[in-house]
Amino acid sequence: MCPPTYFTVSYEINPWMDPSVPVDAARATAQWEHLRDTLRDLGHHVEEIEPEPGLPDMVYAANGATVIDGVAYEAWFRFPERAAEGPAYLRWFSDHGYVTAKARHVNEGEGDLLTCGSRVLAGHGPRTDVAAHREAARLLGREVVSLELVDPRFYHLDTALTVLRGNDGGTPDADCDVAYLPAAFSPESREVLEDLFPDALIATDEDAEVLGLNAVSDGRHVVLNPAATRYAAALRERGYEPVGVDTSELLRGGGGAKCCTLEVRGEPRLPVASRDTPGAAVRSA
C-alpha cells in the first residue's frame, strides 16, 4: 500500500475525478490508515511503499504492478500523469528481491489483471491494451482471459469484478468465485464470464456505482465500501464476511479499497544485494 501523502485530484482521467472540488487530505489519510489497519487486523501483512511528490494517484497501489509467483510485471500507464509510478513500484520490488519483468505494452497492473486460480482475468479497453494480455501471459506464465470493458465509469476491471475466492493464485479453478456487473462488459466478454463462472454473484448497478465491487477479498472477509449494502447482504448470504471500510475521500480519485491494495503473491527469489546486477531481471525481449 502507498500512503496518500500527496493524494489530490489535480487532473481528470476518469469520470469520478473532479479537480474543482478540493480533497480533504486529513480525511483521506485517516480513511487510508483505517483500511491498512483493518487488513492488518484481519491477519494480513501490509508493506508500505514511499509515496512520491507529484504522483497524486500513487495511493492506488493496485495499479503499481502485477505480482504472481514472486514475479512483478511492470505497470505501464495509459496517461502521462501516472507514467512515473510504474518504475517507482518496480524499483520497490527489485529492492525487495523480487524478479521484475519489464512491460512494453500499456497495462495498469492489478487494476486490470486480476489473478483468479490458475488464470489471470484481464480487462482491456479504457486503460490496458489487449497486447499487454499476451505479454502478461508470457511473463507471468499464466493463462490470461481477455475481457472487454465498455462502461467509462468502470474503467478498470477491479471496478467491475471482484475475485472473491482464488485471488491467491493457488486455489483450484473449480473453487474460484467472482462477483461482477454484466453491463460493464461487452456481450462477448459476458459470455466468457458466464462460461467460466456459471455460479457467479451477479452484481447490480447499485453495488457498482459506489465502487462496491472494488473490494479486497481473502476468500473469507471482503473489505468493501459500506455504502454497498445490497452487495454486502449478497456476500453474507454466500458465506462471506463483509467488512465495511469507508474510503469515500479516495473515491474522489475513482478508487476504493481494492485500488489502494496491491496483492503480492509469492516470495522474493533474488538476494537483495543482486538487485543491481544486469540480467537479474526478466526482460520482455
The secondary element (H helix, E strand) that includes residue 101 is strand 99-101
> Given the rule CB under 6 A, which residues bind ligand ARG?
13-14, 17, 57, 60, 62-63, 82, 111, 156, 158-159, 253-255, 259
**In the complex, least distance from residue 155 CB atom to ligand ARG, rounded to whole angstroms:** 7
**In the complex, least distance from residue 235 CB atom to ligand ARG, rounded to whole angstroms:** 20
**In the complex, least distance from residue 85 CB atom to ligand ARG, rounded to whole angstroms:** 9
**In the complex, least distance from residue 91 CB atom to ligand ARG, rounded to whole angstroms:** 20
**In the complex, least distance from residue 195 CB atom to ligand ARG, rounded to whole angstroms:** 25
CB nearer to ligand ARG: pick between 212 and 281: 212
CB nearer to ligand ARG: pick between 75 and 139: 75
**The Cα angle at residue 69 between residues 36 and 245, in degrees rounded to 5:** 20
What is the dihedral sign for C-alpha 216, 221, 225, 229? positive
Cβ neighbours of residue 273 closer than 8 Å, sequence gap 6 or more: none
Q: Is 2 a catalytic residue?
A: no
Active-site residue among 2, 116, 176, 259? 259
Contact call for residues 245 and 251 (beta carbons, < 8 A): no
CB nearer to ligand ARG: pick between 231 and 281: 231
Could you tell me which of 88, 86, 72 has the C-alpha nearest to residue 128?
A: 86
CB nearer to ligand ARG: pick between 57 and 281: 57
- Give 28-87 as a DSSP string: HHHHHHHHHHHHHHTT-----PPP-TT-GGGG-GGGGEEEETTEEEEPB-SSGGGTTHHH
Q: Is 259 a catalytic residue?
A: yes
Could you tell me which of 224, 157, 227 has the C-alpha nearest to residue 189?
A: 157
CB nearer to ligand ARG: pick between 13 and 181: 13
Active-site residue among 2, 156, 221, 260? 156
**Residue 113 DSSP class:** E
Q: What residues are annotated to the active site?
A: 156, 259
